[in-house]
Amino acid sequence: SAVISQKPSRDICQRGTSLTIQCQVDSQVTMMFWYRQQPGQSLTLIATANQGSEATYESGFVIDKFPISRPNLTFSTLTVSNMSPEDSSIYLCSVSRQGNTDTQYFGPGTRLTVL
Footprint of another protein on this chain (CB under 8 A)?
A: 1, 30-31, 33, 41-45, 48, 58-59, 92, 96, 101-109
Contact 98, 30 (CB under 8 A): yes
Contact 50, 105 (CB under 8 A): no
Q: Cα(15)–Cα(18) distance, rounded to whole angstroms?
A: 9
Straight-line distance from the first to the last Cα atom of the chain, in angstroms, rounded to the nearest whole number: 36
Minimum gap (Å) between residue 18 Cβ and another protein:
24
Q: Identity (one letter) of the amino acid at 63?
A: I
Minimum gap (Å) between residue 82 Cβ and another protein:
26
Name which of 14 and 60 has its Cβ closer to another protein.
60
CA 106 vs. chain centroid, Å, equals 10
Name which of 84 and 103 has its Cβ closer to another protein.
103
Name which of 64 and 102 has its Cβ closer to another protein.
102
Name which of 33 and 66 has its Cβ closer to another protein.
33
Minimum gap (Å) between residue 114 Cβ and another protein:
19
Q: Cα(17)–Cα(29) distance, rounded to whole angstroms?
A: 31
Minimum gap (Å) between residue 87 Cβ and another protein:
19
